[in-house]
Chain A
Amino acid sequence: MSGGSHVKPAELYKTTIAVWTTMILLSSVVFHFAVHESTIFDAILEATAAWTGTGISAFDSASTPLWLQLFRSACNWLGGIGIVMISLTIIRPKRFRGWQLAATEFPGPYFLKNESDFRRYYRRIALVYVCFSVIQFLLLLLVDMDLIQAAMTALSNSSSSGLHHINNGFVTALPTSTKAIITVFAFLSSLYSPLFLLALHRKWKRIKESSELNYYVARIVLVTVVLSGLVISKAPGGDYIKSISSVFMQVISSLSTSGYVISDMSAWPLSCVIIISLMIFTGACSFSTGGGFKVSRLIIALKMIAHTLYKQVHPNSVRPLKYDKKPLKSESVVSANLFIALFMITYLLGALLLSLDKLSLLDSLSYSQAMLTGSGIPLISPEATGLADGFSSYGKVVLSALMVAGRLEIYPLLMIFFESFWKTDSSL
């Protein structure tokens, strides 16, 4: 570990939890006083959704002041790149020099060359993030989007946060050109960020060999093909190009966990919505602004299953498990699989807690998934509006907890229930 080795691991997690809690609470004060007749629970939900980049809201976008919507989009953008990491870059505290703290906010899995590269990587990636946001903003202006709307869209979409400021995330009425720009940048935001650095160095071969990218793209193509087939078979004779493009745009929105509704799905077969909902669990690539349990973990888990089956046939084999042609440590393999198990346990427990808020079974399961993956709007839920107005104060607290759990990848939230977390000397 480079630098910061004198800092105890518990302190790192305490720092991340403290920073996130502080930012959410401070922002919720702003939301609470800015929106007339809002409760503190509405404000907490709004602030949590803003920082975690989840496309759900306590306030209708039509009646929310424009400056407040811009504030929310700015929170989306900052949350996407990591509050702790921004603080580290700006404040530069001497105690936290390594990448350990970053790992508490962006838990990985990572496939960087070495750990000391992290800070350099982070600065460059942050620069790419800024550039993408600016380019998206300019392109949206070119297609005649309003200046403030373009800014909000660029900020929220770069961080895979949904587009709550446009009709609570239901953006089906936007012009096709605008939809196309949004789709391209939602896709880019959901990719493994270090790939952009490779692109800057023109290392195309390494990009082409990236297992995560290949799998992610293949998944998008496959889902688009299957869904297009189902949509076209239900209504043959229509405009096929239009059907395929609308399916593709919604697939990108959902698989990147941006979560906005960009296509009119009312005429789609129910199977399509079920398939999309199931695919959201995996979500986007690691070290991206997207949520879910991440494509890289899925690949590792699938490789582990294949490896275990192989070992049944060849019990004495010592063939290592590889990822991007490099052998994987057994701890990394167990860790990736364990996270998937933990993710599914949290999902079921979240749904159990939500069901106490008198939600139907379908709503409990779908909202738990939408909050945990950060997608926001549960597509499968027939009455979902992008607003959390049907929830009680208790329900809003559960939604907020699930959003934070999803964004920080569960462990930091789980740690606070461990005695050893509180026992460690704190000298921050």
Chain B
Amino acid sequence: MKRIANFYGVFLNLMGACFALPLLIALIHGESSSVRAFSLVMLLCFVVSFVIRKICRSSIGSLEIRPRETFLLVATIWLIASAIGALPYMLTGAAPNFFDAFFETASGFTTTGATILNSVEELPRAVLMWRSLTQWLGGMGIIVLFVALLPSFGIKARNIAAAETPGPTVTKLSTTFSGTAQRLYIAYLLLTVAMVILLMAGNVSLYDAVNHAFTTMATGGFSTYNDSIAHFNSNYVTWIVTIFMFLAGTNFELFFILFFDSFKKVLKNEEFRLYASIVVIATALITLSLMNQGGYEDLFRAVTDSAFQVLTIMSTTGYATVDFALWPSFCLMIIVILMVIGGSSSSTAGGIKVVRLLVVFKIIKREISLKLNARTIDDIMLDRKKLLPETLSFIIGFISMYTFTLLAGTLLVSIADPAGMITNFTAVLSCISNVGPGLDSVGPTCTFSFYSNFSKFILTIVMIGGRLELYTLFIIFTSYYWKPGKA
């Protein structure tokens, strides 16, 4: 218990420090209510952290977390972060109640980008910065950041971070996990800085550039404007955002391969090839549909809008340049499929992930070969490496769990809010894949504000479940987690 409490204490310190940036913005812009709110929450974090660490009296280096405790720790840290992060919304009056504030913060940390705020332009600038920062912090993982900043955790932190980023591929970029975490964050930071500079080159203000770079690299999708990226009315900005969404949805390990090895090796990566192929094919199909049925006459406009929407959905960012809910149903079906697929593994994107889809296709192919010739049992290979049967079972099990969570979530939301099948289904799909907008009443120009508190709570849990790839969150609801001796 002491070990876990100590971890919470250190985490609250880090959380408190994160409020410094919005506090600075509040001071610069003279937003007194925001100054009060952020100072208060910051102070609260530091005081609680101090008290916990005083009571538990343990140094950081001696924090030995048992494997079983990591799940509880990760799941609760995400819930606690969402609850604390909700306080500034409530104290500044940005959100009307706790459920709304909790939803908005969880949507931020999980990089979902679904919002209950009907007009973000009316909010204080400090609150908007906090909103964007939650996405940037959650993008690479709150605990991964923790590990990167506090390398003394070393090997003990690997399990904790793995529970937060349980994707199918975990490559060691360094001898210690904190080294890997640092390298991932350096890549993340460099790409964010590069995007800020490129956006500013397109006459975007520093404030807007930082906000949008935060939310693009995290594949979050929060904007400082009600009409999202469409506000800038610039092809240059649209294409910069499109390119960075593509990068954010790519496996981050490939950036290191590109930097330290060769471009050829990146192109040979099976997941990257499928990811790029899906982007190209989906863009081409939507462009064709828009030119034929969607009323588009300018090919460049159609390609720009298609590529942007394909990447904003597939990378699970969730920005908007047009109201794609008005597009032909063929385009909407492609969007729904892209929402399910999501981005690459080891990226900041959500969804099932391209690598899992690739493995499922390979297993289906093997199953058919097996049915056609019962004597052949081929190994499943990914990038010339054999996948273990347990990995295959885990991937297939994840797909089933994703499907059932999606259906159960839709069912629960439908019981409380009969908003229509497409609305409820795409709302849950959007939340589990951490996309942001859905279709129909939760389309790109709408918000989730009409949902009841019960539905908002369910959607919040689904968001966090989706971000932690389901197992980490759901395991703490099982009886054998709490009774480990029970067989």
Contacts and interface: CB of A to CB of B under 8 A. Distances in A.
Chain A interface residue bracket vs B? 35 or more
A342 interface: yes
29 contacts: A8-B373, A13-B371, A274-B411, A277-B421, A278-B407, A278-B410, A278-B414, A304-B397, A308-B471, A309-B471, A312-B471, A313-B68, A333-B393, A334-B396, A337-B396, A337-B397, A340-B399, A344-B403, A345-B360, A352-B333, A352-B334, A355-B329, A358-B293, A358-B329, A359-B329, A361-B333, A418-B368, A420-B369, A424-B373
B203 interface: no
Interface in A177-234: 226, 230
Nearest to B481: A313
A351 B333 contact: yes
B293 to A, nearest CB: 8
Contact of B400 (A304, A309, A317, A359): A304
Interface in A340-391: 340-342, 344-345, 348, 351-352, 355-356, 358-362, 364-366, 380
A411 interface: yes
A341 B396 contact: yes
A198 B340 CA distance: 42
A34 interface: no
A8 B371 CA distance: 10
A411 B372 CA distance: 10
Which residue, A275, A361, A365, A415, has most C-beta atoms of chain B within 10 A? Answer: A361
Contact of A281 (B367, B407, B421): B407
B415 A305 contact: no
Given A302-B404, A308-B397, A341 B418 contact: no
B401 interface: yes
Contacts of B240: none
B471 A10 contact: no
Interface of B: 67-68, 71, 293, 328-330, 332-334, 336-337, 340, 360, 363-364, 367-369, 371-374, 389, 392-394, 396-397, 399-401, 403-404, 407, 410-411, 414-415, 418, 420-422, 424-425, 439, 471, 474-475, 478, 480-481, 484, 487
Interface string A405-424: 00000010011001011001
A226 B487 contact: no
Given A330-B393, A338-B360, A415-B371, A313 B333 contact: no
A330 B389 CA distance: 9
Given A302-B404, A330-B389, A358-B293, 11 more contacts: A9-B374, A309-B471, A340-B403, A342-B364, A348-B337, A355-B330, A361-B332, A361-B422, A365-B425, A418-B372, A420-B373
A310 B389 CA distance: 17
- 8 closest Cβ pairs, A-B complex: A270-B418, A301-B400, A274-B414, A355-B329, A337-B396, A271-B418, A355-B333, A355-B330
Interface of A: 8-10, 13, 226, 230, 269-271, 273-275, 277-278, 281, 301-302, 304-306, 308-310, 312-315, 317, 319, 330, 333-335, 337-338, 340-342, 344-345, 348, 351-352, 355-356, 358-362, 364-366, 380, 411, 414-415, 418, 420-421, 424
B329 A274 contact: no
Contacts of A315: 67
Nearest to A282: B407
B71 A312 contact: yes
A426 B480 CA distance: 53
A201 to B, nearest CB: 33
Nearest to B71: A312
A305 B337 contact: no
A338 B364 contact: yes
A414 B403 CA distance: 22
B363 A334 contact: yes
Contacts of A365: 333, 336, 421-422, 425
Contacts of B407: 278, 281
B11 to A, nearest CB: 22
Contacts of B411: 274-275, 278
